[in-house]
Amino acid sequence: MSAAPIRAPWIFAFALSALLSTPASSLCQPATPSSELTVPSGTPGTDFNLLDGAGRKDGRWLRVYEDGSIYYSGSFDAGRPIGHFTFFHEGGGVHSEVVHGEADVDGHWTSEVVSYRKDGSLAGRGDYSMWMGGNGKPAQEKHGLWRSYDTSGRVRRLENFAQGELHGAFKTFFADGTALEIGLYKEGKRDGNWTRNAASGRKESEQNWASGVPEGGFILYHASGKVMTQGHFRGGLEAGAWKLFLDDGRVHSTVFYERGRIDREVPENGLFQSTYPSDRPSKSEHYEAGLLHGEFVRWYDNGEWSAGAAEVGGGEFGGAGGDMKRFLEGQKMAEKGQYQRGFKHGNWNHYREDGMIDRIERWDMGTLIEE
């Protein structure tokens, strides 16, 4: 027996894709190692690893890794893999089990694959549609339903294939079986309505796709289940008016897009904050029913950014454990006051850049009555 494997390229690709694509089923690894059942006896080249008169693999075949451990064992008939094949991880342990069905009148057959991780846990299961290619070697395409499992044996992904491409229903799951993402593929591309859920089972978002590009409606939901954002895509870009909602159902603002870029935003309810190009806060204002209403603050574009420790789980800087955060120190307020139904009302304080009060104004529903 040779110490180095003579790997047929199609077999290596076949076994590798069966593992990395993690198709799956709830089967368990065979209790009796396949290596004890499929290792042929005799001398390589004499009793197995033979070619027929046309130079095609024929009969029992066995290949090994460079360290001598078994790579695969199976049988061929005039170059076509038949019956049961077992592939192994380098160093031992079943990598995948493949069972080749009978060929039909057109020379096509189905091959069932069950794959395993190095630790022996089930990775997945699915079928290939196979045929002998023009080069005399087997060709293959994923076909039908493929399942993926985590190391605990729980289904985490369901995929459907046609002619080697994702086609049909697609679904992923959280560890407890709750649906994470649900949608459809058409000829390898996302198509139709896709839904994404939170671990709690509530709906997080809905988005429509056409041939792999966002097209049509999009909805993002608050944790309460109420709509947070609603709009449309055109050709993969945000288009037209998008509505942003507060958790109480009121419209926060309407954002108008032009070819994916914000053209303007119309505030309607709630708090709105803006920044300078320096990323320092510029102003903070409240709206109600489309009118300024409540506290208004404007700042100077000054102050210095610094980095410091953040609370656990926070931090803009990330780093080790995400425990750093950016702080703005020394920024001075420029003015502060109140609006009532769109009009300045009450006392307004104006400040110099050094933080000292410059002047105080008194307003009555938009009319300056004292300075």
Q: What is the pLDDT of residue 321?
A: 52
What phi and psi values does residue 122 have, to the nearest 5 degrees?
Answer: -65, 130
Q: Are 178 and 199 in contact (CB under 8 A)?
A: yes
Q: Are 213 and 260 in contact (CB under 8 A)?
A: no
Q: What is the pLDDT of residue 310?
A: 66
Nearest to 21 by CA among 128, 132, 163: 128
Q: How far apart are CA 305 and CA 357, in angstroms?
A: 24
DSSP structure class, residue 56: -
CATH class assigned to 167-263:
mainly beta
- Residue 48, classed as helix, strand or coil, is strand
DSSP structure class, residue 20: H
Q: What is the pLDDT of residue 136?
A: 86
Q: Are 321 and 311 in contact (CB under 8 A)?
A: no
Q: What is the 3-state secondary structure (H, E, C) of 158-205?
A: EEEEECCEECEEEEEECCCCCEEEEEEEECCEEEEEEEEECCCCCEEE
Q: What is the pLDDT of residue 74?
A: 93
H helical segments located in 74-157: none
What phi and psi values does residue 329 have, to the nearest 5 degrees?
Answer: -120, 140
CA dihedral 233, 235, 237, 241 (to 10 degrees): -40
Q: What is the pLDDT of residue 285?
A: 97
In sign, the C-alpha dihedral spanning 353, 354, 359, 364 is: positive
Q: Give percent of the chain above pLDDT 70.
A: 86
Average pLDDT along the chain, 371 residues, taken 10 residues at a time = 36 33 35 50 85 92 89 94 94 93 95 95 97 92 97 97 97 97 98 97 97 97 97 97 97 96 96 95 97 97 87 46 80 97 96 95 95 83
Task: Give the chain's end-to-end CA distance (angstroms, integer).
Answer: 101
Q: Is 46 left (phi over 0), alpha (psi -120 to 50) or beta?
A: alpha
State the Cα angle at 36 between 32 and 41, rounded to 5°.
Answer: 160
